[in-house]
Structure 1
Amino acid sequence: MRYSVAIFILLFLLCGCSSSSVREQYSLKLKEFPIDCGSLIKSIEVDRLGDAEFSSEVMQVDENMVKVNIRFNLKGDTVKQNDWQVRIKPAFKPVFNWAPHLTPTVNNIIDQHVFRSPALIATDQQQGIVIIPDLDILSKSGKNRWYMDMDAENNILSLGMSASKISDHVLYERQPGAVYEGGIVEYGFYIIKYSEKQELANPFRLPLQFMWNKWGHDRLVKLSSEDFEPYVKYAYNWAFNTWKESVWQEFTLNGRKVGAPVFIVNTTQSPNYPGEVNEREFRSIWNQAWFSSLRSASGLFRYARRTADKTLLEKANLTKELALSFPMKDGFFYGLVGTDMCEVEIDGKKYNRSKGWDHYFWGNSNRNPFTWDAKQSPFHILDMSWTALLMLRWHEELEKDERLLTYAETYARALLGVQYENGYFPGWLDVETLKPTEFLNDSPESSMSVTFLLKLYEITGKEEYKEAALKGMNAVKSVISEGRWEDFETYWSCCRIGTPDYIGKKVARNNMYKQCNFSMFWTAEALLECYRITNDDEYLKLGQRVLDELLMTQASWQPPYIYVNGVGGFGVMNADGEWNDSRGSLFSELILQYGKLLNIPEYKERGLCALKTAFEMMYCPQNPEAKQQWEKVWPFFNKEDYGFTMENYGHGGSTSPEGEGMGEFTIYDWGNGAASEAYNRILDKFGADVLR
């Protein structure tokens, strides 16, 4: 159904108010909408755009969705207007709000850069609405930047156009200076109404399905296992051949030969770089929730076994030996091994260099609330549970090395000893006293320990591990309904917004916590494992809801201002700017598992796209758009650099055709090595058919 909506101008001239507070606006007549929106929406107000002629249309999409189109005819005029808005006021007071980005103050907006699967969601126990920008119109909007805003305190959902600036890392603020050229200016959005219990129980499913079917599915390139093989070959050739001198680390610990790719390298370590090497961080090898050498080695093992490559198989096993070499303290163990660093001066310039593996130390991830010194950093339960889980998976799926099981179970006994009565596991333990520290002692990081303990229960049959795991899962359930997705990355990575003031508290203006999708992944995985063990459908329903919230951070479309392929790529949190983050490779198998179990083709497509975009940032001929961007930023790159892979794109919150957003480093265990592991694992577990 399509028809014109009568509109009239409401000019608010309030006595005593300054002219800056006056908004000239139109009001859409909800009674004339083709479906009943008046029971859910109190008003929809549309700002004027200069003196342009205004018109609007409302089209019925289905019984619960309408599409609103707005047009301004500027004719030959150019309009300068700093801010233009559509304001939607619900007729009910929501108890749950969701938006893709935080806007803590009235100055903040959700800039189009973070429109991955853009929506504003507001629900209570009986009803809800979802607002989705019309991405077809946005794709043609040119220089007119779109935004959204969630003002939960005043119960207003806004969409608009404005120039913006980046503040902090990464929030956006509206800025003056927007200019609209003469002609037609269009804007549009969809409204979905909820009234069914299943819609309210999982408010993310319908918008995800709609956005993927409309904008994601048609851009999905059919993939096969052959399509991924070149990327894997580039990754391993890069790490173990052309960049070997910088990447591969091999040394002896207590008489045991060990080895692994280094944590991080940058463009100064390219064999084609014309200057001196300047190492970005201390030389190290990690077994941590992000950067896991053991995870990458398991993928290398699978590849070497499949291709009968004895050299690569030896390297995989050297990394396993390194993981088993990490010393324990009463069952808890370190998360990295590093070298001392020094500064060297060459031609008057100082460069960061390693002293070598004769000067090694054990430490833990310095992404924590307490210290930047890895030597002093506390034990992180999350990191240890992840590494122990990987040991069990290696033991179960690759080779029956009993040392892996013994190491993991030694840790498990220590883990059970620190579980709280309420079911949660601590965040960090002091490295000296082994006492829990201050932060994240009731967070969804506990979900990782749930998955680990359930796997150990499967292998050993010991009920104590199952009981502890289900107790932990029951604790984490309280996180789900309120969206309290707090983990170490939320507050102690590069995005320090709200650290520590937001911890455990909602941002009042948005009625949302600062969130990271990493803990969504761990929880969706843990709930799936709980379902497998218990066959209790409640775990599966909750797991799908968490998975869908995770997928709200996945790109369901290809913006014209993202200069690499972005469909299926992931962001990170609601206060950062990444596209195509490397975590997509970690998430891909879980999405495929849910798709297979629930028989939802959308999940299969999303899972494959997540895997594909994990390789999208690789410098190689298979990625022509990204390759062109790389060469604009680093013109010395050539075929010896094929395989170099930045962990994400547009991290700082902006991009440009000139290469802004490309980055300058590779983390093997969170980039090319991790993506290769995901592909090799999926190929082994699902077979080549899933990739067709």
Structure 2
Amino acid sequence: MKRFFIFPFAIAILFMFNNRIYANTDGLSKKSGIRTETFPPLLRKAIARLQYDGLGAHSGKAEATKIDENTVHVIVTFSLKEAVQQDDWQVQILPSFIPSFHWAPHLTPTDNHVIDQHVFRSPALIVSDGKQQLTIIPDLEILKESAPVRWYMDMDAPNNRLTLGMAENDVSGHILFERTPGTVFPKGEVRFGFYMMASDKPEDLRNPFRRPLDFMWTRWGRDLYRSGNPVKGALQPYVEHTYHWAFDSWSKSVWQEFTLNGKRVGAPVFIVNVTQSPNYLGEINEREFRSVWNQAWFSSLRSAGGLFRYGRRTKNKELMRKARMSKELALAAPKKEGFFYGLIATEMETVEIDGKKYHRSKGWDHSYWGNSNRNPYTWSAEESPFHVLDMSWTALLMLRWHEELEKDARLLAYARDYADALLRVQTPDGFFPGWLDTKTLQPMQHLNRSPESSMSVTFLLKLYELTRRKDYKTAALKAMDAVMREIIPVGQWEDFETYWSCSRVGADDWVGKKVARNNMFKQNNFSMFWTAEALYECYRITGEEGYLQYGQRTLDKMLMTQASWQPPYMHVNVLGGFGVLNADGEWNDSRGSLFAELILQYGKQLNEKEYEERGIAALKSAFVMMYCPENPQTKRQWEKVWPFFGPEDYGFTMENYGHGGRTSPEGEGMGEFTIYDWGNGAAAEAYNRIRDRWKID
């Protein structure tokens, strides 16, 4: 039977000496008559009960240190004379109020699910009732130095219980974590720690993420960042590896060039895998259909903008020619009443060689136009509907190319044609639809009231700047108001990636609903980014402070998915890298390159040094997964998994790390493919753009 040793602030079982508060651990019968008036009042008010388990017959010792008037640090220590087998060990915190707001970094839809340490990027449990806020943060220093058993967190909203603990668990589905029996605590000292923070300040209640982010970056992130994590030295060598890889050593597989409607077009292919390495001795097996995309993730036009900047700076006419060919390919996408297709692909076939089957392309003579197949309706790109988000992103990139790189009236005309079509499908309450049927152009049934609309806001505001047509601005602000009214207050960060990418848990029954046990939606940080960017642009255009306040809150929520420390169980550098959503396992996701400039923009606007450091760390994190000499730690991991890698593979970059929910020193978590437009090409674009616009080398 478990033994609980309770130290509830509400019933005063602690005593204080100097600035330290010690728990009596002799048993429940002796916990009485202890003074409470010396404990920080806000925490004493916020917590009804705080209790922890024993380990076997060991009661342990709990020690709490007052950090400031709002914060306490608790350490629980056991000195085990023998190993203890115990399936679970917990600290439970019960707030004294009924929260209306809950935040945790991962979903735990049942009592058996946990938030495993694998997803401790900026780990915290946050609850608030609009009058007071309670935040719990694991002590990452202890986790880093001494953790013989896996740590976890949990949030049970219906029972108003926050839990920290230690227990073994398995990955279930893609990606949740469930407790497993048989946890063994080894002989010796076992330590567990956490911080508790309380606040009733209006600014903290308005933005519940700013204080914990500042706490974690100040305590764990900043020194790491200044010492060179995630990447030491200049980023230019990584960019050079990228373009040498794509257009030289791997060009046979990566670069696609063909004639379309009498015009020569080209772009790097959507995806390649290790079987396409020049050092691989076996047969090529293409992972997915050969294609070039202009979509919210995989944008050949975005990558081409970076290549153009690099070619212009280095006076490399051949690379500029290739960049322009990608621009021509984007302009060649067929339109239907202003709406347009998001990818071009080749037909595929299965070939048999020596009794084995391989996936191969029929070549660009067998091509077709289509749209992203990451949607609720079909896995066929040829049959997929128009995705408004994808079209707005591509049209925005056209405007940026026209404004920043070279004046091309065709880009502006193409974007205006799309914008006029977009305005026709805006709903009376301001949202833009998610998907449109390619035949009828009518909205389909998913994500018609979602934060994907934020991308269209940014696009329309940029078009307003270039044309001064007020109807674009009016439509944009109307959509922004809808997102501010319906999405941000409840945290409904649902977009195409939330349910219809690799993490499909909940796609059948969670869409549009909160997970009851956590009082949270399944959430994705991609839509947080689009919304924070759109709010920033609304503020820039209108000067209205409300947009900036909502924007910072949204940005900070996004930053709760950014790594603020370096876990010892991550075998590559991860500081500044991003996860994706609260039901997946990635670290160092390629979206860090996309997010970096926006973080810098907020840092400049708000004069916030932390944002500047986080923004640069995000940019650098996008190069960490590259196979090259500049990343010796990562290079060793790659070679453990793919020992045939050599100098010809310098530049190969997996889009993320630890995607499956586990990592190991033997290379688990490294992956086997590169998506140029969501990997090395995207990272190079971000560097080239930020270098040009921010004068950062």
What TM bracket, shorter-length normalisation?
Answer: over 0.9
Which residue number corresponds to residue 96 of structure 1?
101
User: Which letter does structure 2 place at the counterpart of 1:349?
Assistant: K
Q: Give matches, 1:83-482, under 5 Å.
A: 83-221=88-226, 227-477=234-484, 478-482=486-490
For these two proteins, the number of residue pairs brought into alignment is 675
Q: Which moved more, 1:181-190 or 1:412-421?
A: 181-190
User: Which letter does structure 2 place at the counterpart of 1:550?
Assistant: M
Task: Mark the CA change 1:424 to 1:384 in structure 2 (over 3 Å): closer, same or farther.
Answer: same
Task: Mark the CA change 1:28 to 1:319 in structure 2 (over 3 Å): closer, same or farther.
Answer: farther
Task: Mark the CA change 1:185 to 1:356 in structure 2 (over 3 Å): closer, same or farther.
Answer: same
| Partners of 1:413 and 1:370 in 2: CA distance | 26
**Which aligned segments of 4 or more residues in structure 1 are displaced greater than 4 angstroms?**
25-30, 222-226
Deviation per residue, 1:388-446 (Å, 9 max, x gap): 00000000000000000000000000000000000000000001110000000000000
| Partners of 1:188 and 1:225 in 2: CA distance | 31
| Partners of 2:119 and 2:678 in 1: CA distance | 22
Task: Mark the CA change 1:32 to 1:620 in structure 2 (over 3 Å): closer, same or farther.
Answer: farther
Residue 27 of structure 1 deviates from its aligned partner by: 11
Residue 183 of structure 1 deviates from its aligned partner by: 1.4
Residue 143 of structure 1 deviates from its aligned partner by: 3.1
Q: Confirm or deny: 8 A CA contact 1:485 1:515 kept in the other structure.
A: yes
Confirm whether residue 2 of structure 1 aligns to residue 9 of structure 2: no
Which residue, 653, 660, 666 being the options, matches 1:658? Answer: 666
Task: Mark the CA change 1:108 to 1:642 in structure 2 (over 3 Å): closer, same or farther.
Answer: same
Q: Give matches, 1:72-87, under 5 Å.
A: 72-74=78-80, 76-87=81-92
| Partners of 2:156 and 2:690 in 1: CA distance | 42
User: Which letter does structure 1 place at the counterpart of 2:350?
Assistant: E
Q: Give matches, 1:538-687, under 5 Å.
A: 538-687=546-695
Q: Confirm or deny: 8 A CA contact 2:148 2:186 kept in the other structure.
A: no
Residue 471 of structure 1 deviates from its aligned partner by: 0.1
Deviation per residue, 1:507-546 (Å, 9 max, x gap): 0000000000000000000000000000000000000000
| Partners of 1:216 and 1:494 in 2: CA distance | 30
Aligned to 1:39, the other structure's residue is in SS state helix
Residue 3 of structure 1 deviates from its aligned partner by: 3.4
| Partners of 2:536 and 2:572 in 1: CA distance | 33
Q: Which moved more, 1:218-227 or 1:109-118?
A: 218-227
Which residue number corresponds to residue 500 of structure 1?
508
Q: Confirm or deny: 8 A CA contact 1:389 1:455 kept in the other structure.
A: yes
User: Which letter does structure 2 place at the counterpart of 1:401?
Assistant: D
Q: Confirm or deny: 8 A CA contact 1:27 1:46 kept in the other structure.
A: no
Which residue number corresponds to residue 486 of structure 1?
494
Q: Confirm or deny: 8 A CA contact 1:6 1:28 kept in the other structure.
A: no
Which residue number corresponds to residue 6 of structure 2?
none
Which residue number corresponds to residue 68 of structure 1?
74
Aligned to 2:549, the other structure's residue is in SS state helix
Aligned to 2:153, the other structure's residue is in SS state strand
Which residue number corresponds to residue 22 of structure 1?
none
| Partners of 2:426 and 2:463 in 1: CA distance | 16
The answer for unaligned runs of 5 or more in structure 1 is 12-24
Q: Confirm or deny: 8 A CA contact 1:27 1:45 kept in the other structure.
A: no
Aligned to 1:548, the other structure's residue is in SS state helix
| Partners of 2:489 and 2:607 in 1: CA distance | 25
| Partners of 1:28 and 1:406 in 2: CA distance | 78
User: Which letter does structure 2 place at the counterpart of 1:181?
Assistant: P
Which residue number corresponds to residue 54 of structure 2?
48
Q: Confirm or deny: 8 A CA contact 1:7 1:27 kept in the other structure.
A: no
Which residue number corresponds to residue 9 of structure 2?
none
Aligned to 1:38, the other structure's residue is in SS state helix
Task: Mark the CA change 1:9 to 1:338 in structure 2 (over 3 Å): closer, same or farther.
Answer: same
| Partners of 1:609 and 1:547 in 2: CA distance | 15
Aligned to 2:45, the other structure's residue is in SS state coil
Deviation per residue, 1:61-97 (Å, 9 max, x gap): 11111101111111x2111110000000000000000
| Partners of 2:257 and 2:104 in 1: CA distance | 46
| Partners of 1:8 and 1:449 in 2: CA distance | 62
| Partners of 1:370 and 1:28 in 2: CA distance | 64
Matched residues, percent identical? 65
| Partners of 2:316 and 2:674 in 1: CA distance | 24
Q: Confirm or deny: 8 A CA contact 1:649 1:662 kept in the other structure.
A: yes
Which residue number corresponds to residue 18 of structure 1?
none
Q: Confirm or deny: 8 A CA contact 1:7 1:28 kept in the other structure.
A: no
User: Which letter does structure 1 place at the counterpart of 2:132?
Assistant: Q
Which residue number corresponds to residue 63 of structure 2?
57
Q: TM-score, normalised by structure 1?
A: 0.96
Deviation per residue, 1:549-588 (Å, 9 max, x gap): 0000000000000000001000000000000000000000
Q: Confirm or deny: 8 A CA contact 1:30 1:43 kept in the other structure.
A: no
User: Which letter does structure 2 place at the counterpart of 1:498?
Assistant: G
Residue 175 of structure 1 deviates from its aligned partner by: 0.8
User: Which letter does structure 2 place at the counterpart of 1:575?
Assistant: A
Residue 267 of structure 1 deviates from its aligned partner by: 0.1
Residue 9 of structure 1 deviates from its aligned partner by: 3.1
Task: Mark the CA change 1:336 to 1:149 in structure 2 (over 3 Å): closer, same or farther.
Answer: same
Residue 194 of structure 1 deviates from its aligned partner by: 1.3
User: Which letter does structure 1 place at the counterpart of 2:383?
Assistant: Q
User: Which letter does structure 1 place at the counterpart of 2:344?
Assistant: V
User: Which letter does structure 1 place at the counterpart of 2:116?
Assistant: D
Residue 141 of structure 1 deviates from its aligned partner by: 2.7
Residue 38 of structure 1 deviates from its aligned partner by: 2.2
Aligned to 1:406, the other structure's residue is in SS state helix
| Partners of 1:568 and 1:34 in 2: CA distance | 35
Aligned to 2:310, the other structure's residue is in SS state helix
Q: Confirm or deny: 8 A CA contact 1:50 1:79 kept in the other structure.
A: yes
Residue 2 of structure 1 deviates from its aligned partner by: 1.7
| Partners of 2:310 and 2:430 in 1: CA distance | 39
Residue 342 of structure 1 deviates from its aligned partner by: 0.4
| Partners of 2:39 and 2:272 in 1: CA distance | 58
Aligned to 2:60, the other structure's residue is in SS state strand
| Partners of 1:32 and 1:266 in 2: CA distance | 63
The answer for unaligned runs of 5 or more in structure 2 is 1-18
| Partners of 1:646 and 1:451 in 2: CA distance | 29
| Partners of 1:587 and 1:371 in 2: CA distance | 29
Q: TM-score, normalised by structure 2?
A: 0.95
| Partners of 1:92 and 1:423 in 2: CA distance | 36
Residue 166 of structure 1 deviates from its aligned partner by: 0.6
Aligned to 2:554, the other structure's residue is in SS state helix
Residue 181 of structure 1 deviates from its aligned partner by: 1.3
| Partners of 1:28 and 1:363 in 2: CA distance | 73
Aligned to 2:682, the other structure's residue is in SS state helix
User: Which letter does structure 2 place at the counterpart of 1:83?
Assistant: D
